[in-house]
Chain A
């Protein structure tokens, strides 16, 4: 089953990447990033099945960090929305060189 789990993990990750590249709504892009993190969690769990419990510990960490990141990221998106009235990534180009 490990191979199949990894197989799914890879596909989910790729789907996440496609989502990041395709979508312009910042929140949706953020959710795609969460999807990628989930795919990675699946890999970790699969390997933990083989090699011991450290993989699950790491999944705990990943989830924690994902939660923190989601909080801060969404706060940023809110703040940005207040200024630019949009969450369209194409319109958020103040860093344009």
Chain B
């Protein structure tokens, strides 16, 4: 039954169930954001004059009245507030773009930190609302399991705007896909909130952090639960906003603020694409709701230019939001934010919004094979490109950032090939193990920071060259991170194996005779593109295994390079931070059971996710796969084996070739050797290329052409000064001569005026 018809015919099976309360899932995080926001304003508000850039010094210094946080700090030992940390900075911090100012402090003494005034309240409200949202989502999920609906459950709340034939409502759509995404977002989000309670404990911006994080969860849920493109766009923009707020959380450091700006600005380029796509969709289909649009797409012939254009512009939005080539540059810089933010936003949820968009618009992409092939090409190239950069990064978060970009490339290859379920599956498993990796890295960084604080040393707590042998000190973190590494490398039976293998298998299968392979991309036949993508993905899998193992080796194995005094202070992180790690570790192990391929049916239930998402994604997937030649059982087994072999080979290579013992701490490390090493370490100089090619010309044009030339030179000189010069000479003289003060002149004017009026009457 076509979805829309089902929804129109009679009551939806989910009506009257807990699914009706799905709006609570949105309301709870929003309420949390508001409460935390108010608390943040109260504590961080500076009454009286405030001079953020102290140009007034000495006796003219503007001394700000203390915020609540600072007053708390005065009554108890020093709290590393943002402002306080900045005032203590005698010099700008060392380090590259991805700033390591985790605790807003660089130099100075480290007495035991005190608490944020509202710490208990925020610690309950912040994670509590997300846990509550997760609970509601679970109830809705159970209802959905019982009801097993074919059609989406659409709840309409308000009419946003009606203009001509355009009708947009605030409407939520609850179908299998959005339910799954809701569970992932609230579930993983809740875990990360709990982790943050421990991680951000000593930060003066505690309330602001949770306000931003709650707001992000709200917007992400708006995105996944939207029933039409504009509401989804609200969520799209909102997560971009929260990403900006949270990346530049320690905004008093310019590098952090710049990173936030970069993220938002690069995202905007994609957003413009999304908007244009919405315009095209409305122009062609006169509606922006998913159901009617999908129905209308069926009316147009596949591959028509309109459909391809709309799909490509949507993909442009994905390229920006999900960090694909060429708009991925913001993601590594986004590591300037707190690590749980990186875990939630830049690993598990926000960056996957692009994948969700393509899956949601599956009908559109299935009807535009050229656009789907474009997705495949971009995804495959990104996967390999980013993986190669990850091979040579020293900052632990940067490795994970490029890894995220690479894995997103995998997801896009999947949804590009038409294997929408595989893409979503990888999205879910990636959320598990990447969040775990980031949280684990956060735990490591936290421990390193504690050690540095205790000894008063000031070094990069995120650089792997300063770590080493941490498995002795952080055993739980160590084991959970290995679980995640095996998952991401694709070792059976961990979660990543199943999802990655499904992607590889789908790409390979689509290359042989499917509808997609018959399309062509810039003249290249689709089958060639798909085969090429498959090869690239395998190479990427190999590189993934290598760099992840490299990361683990340098961080946890080998001798410890942190320093004699610091070593004594290295200890495992508190329980509140370990619990999420453990939960995610379990999920990384068993998550693959969500969609076991029929090939390995002996391991458990086959294709749970396939069946679950079939009502939503089945049709477009079948459209693109039509006519393909299924590989034989033996061939499939060979492919699976090859994938595992590649992963194992990568791990082995890393273990054999990399010697952690040869590393020296960052301060003494030699610069990169020129050539391939340096190129990779500088990420192929892409950032520098953008700087030179785009940013500098834009700045130059703004400064010289627009400001000096147009604004100062023409508008100011000609229009403003020019008019000011001309008018006194012309009108001014006339006016002055009229004001001679002589009665005779006035009499003249009077008589002339009277003559004029008389003339108007007499000479009609």
Contact = CB atoms under 8 A, between A and B. Distances in A.
Do A and B have CB atoms closer than 8 angstroms in the complex?
A: yes
Interface of A: 17, 20-21, 24, 26, 29, 89-90, 92-97
B741 interface: yes
A24 B751 CA distance: 16
Contact of A96 (B739, B744, B747, B751): B739
A95 B744 CA distance: 13
A90 B743 CA distance: 7
Nearest to B752: A21
B740 A93 contact: yes
A96 B739 CA distance: 6
Given A17-B751, A21-B751, A97 B743 contact: no
A80 B744 CA distance: 16
Contacts of B712: none
B743 A29 contact: yes
A90 B744 contact: yes
A12 B147 CA distance: 107
Contacts of B741: 92-97
A37 to B, nearest CB: 15
Contact of B744 (A17, A21, A94): A21
A21 B742 contact: no
Interface in B735-758: 735-736, 739-744, 747-748, 751
Contacts of B736: 97
Interface residues of B, number: 11
A90 B751 contact: no
Contacts of A96: 739-742
Contacts of A97: 735-736, 739-741
Contacts of B740: 93, 96-97
Contacts of A17: 751
17 contacts: A17-B751, A20-B747, A21-B747, A21-B751, A29-B747, A89-B743, A89-B744, A90-B742, A90-B744, A92-B741, A92-B743, A93-B741, A96-B739, A96-B740, A96-B742, A97-B735, A97-B741
A20 B751 contact: yes
Contacts of B747: 20-21, 29
Given A21-B751, A29-B743, 10 more contacts: A21-B748, A89-B743, A89-B744, A90-B742, A93-B741, A95-B739, A96-B740, A96-B742, A97-B739, A97-B740
A20 B741 CA distance: 16
A68 B739 CA distance: 29
A48 to B, nearest CB: 22
A83 B624 CA distance: 104
A24 B742 CA distance: 10
A93 B742 contact: yes
Nearest to A20: B747
Contacts of B744: 21, 24, 89-90
A29 B745 CA distance: 13
Contacts of B748: 21
A95 B739 CA distance: 8
Nearest to B743: A89
A97 B748 CA distance: 17
B262 to A, nearest CB: 59
B739 to A, nearest CB: 3
Contacts of B742: 89-90, 92-93, 96
A92 B736 CA distance: 16
Nearest to A96: B741
A97 B740 CA distance: 6
- Of all A-B residue pairs in the complex, the 9 with the closest CB atoms, nearest first, are A97-B739, A96-B741, A95-B741, A93-B741, A89-B743, A93-B742, A89-B744, A20-B747, A17-B751
A93 B744 CA distance: 10
B251 to A, nearest CB: 57
Contacts of A90: 742, 744
Nearest to B744: A89
A89 B746 CA distance: 11
Contacts of B735: 97
A20 B739 CA distance: 18
Contacts of B739: 95-97
A94 B743 CA distance: 11
Interface in B708-764: 735-736, 739-744, 747-748, 751
Contacts of A29: 743, 747
B741 to A, nearest CB: 3
Contacts of A94: 741
A29 to B, nearest CB: 7
A93 B746 CA distance: 11
A79 B360 CA distance: 94
A71 to B, nearest CB: 19
Contacts of A21: 744, 747-748, 751
A2 to B, nearest CB: 19
A96 B742 CA distance: 7
A77 to B, nearest CB: 11
Nearest to B755: A17
Interface centre among B739, B742, B744, B747 (most CB of A within 10 A): B744
A26 B744 CA distance: 9
A93 B743 CA distance: 8
A93 B736 CA distance: 13
Contacts of A89: 742-744
